[in-house]
Amino acid sequence: MSSLKITLLQSNLVWENKDANLAHFEQLISELKEQAEIVVLPEMFSTGFSMKPELLAEKMDGPTVNWMRKMAAGKRIVLTGSVIIEEEGNYYNRLLWVLPNGQIGQYDKRHLFAYANEDQHYSRGDKRLIASVKGWKILLLVCYDLRFPVWSRQQAVEDEAAEYDLIIYVANWPERRNHAWKTLLQARAIENQCYVVGVNRVGLDGNNIAHSGDSMVVDPLGEVLYTKVQEEFVQTITITKEHLASIREKLPFLKDADDFNILL
């Protein structure tokens, strides 16, 4: 059975300032004392949750993506977080999954936050991304996706106990709704019998909206293994397949789940 080391970077973000944010995260990653395998950054980590993609978007060969490649290669890590990307005239809130060899997986945020007019500025995705590291299957999602359990629900996989073992959410989730954030992270872990990692930002954004962080690691029973409020932090957590397998064996609830298809 394998373990997996995941480093959470909960940080304030400098509003719409790529250079400042990348420099800050580069320092944090460069100073990592414990060898991580996956390093998780917040949603729109290089800009903050901006509705100005026409000014801030970049291509897949742009500076932020190239920076992620450099950091992943230099530290021999998988680096993930979401970035504003332009492609064929459309803008995407795109989660990038960057491997040390430079290969990139991508997931375009499905559920756009209409309350902040995200749906007026960005195009939504229509495909999930399940990555694989050391035999772990990892579902990658972004912020508002957390409120929609069907999109993250384990689906039947032939000859396998589950479709995935871990969900990672990157977010800019406001403090005034942090009760929902914390509750839903635990709910997604319980209902899908998987680990859940949620990485959020702290501080005020350019719209004077406060973020309390509350980044969290949750086990498959919904138990909180780590969380921190308000402060910037860098923390590495080790999760184990033994614990996951033991829970699924003792409580084989997934086999009783409903079969369904998602119609896009």
Q: What are the catalytic residues?
A: 43, 109, 143
SS3 of the chain: helix, strand, coil, percent, to 5: 30, 30, 40
C-alpha–C-alpha distance, residues 118 and 46, integer Å: 17
CA dihedral 222, 7, 203, 214 (to 10 degrees): 10
Tokens for 174? Answer: 């406001």
Write the single-letter amino acid at 248: R
Write the single-letter amino acid at 125: G
* CA-based torsion, 113, 214, 127, 150: positive or negative: negative
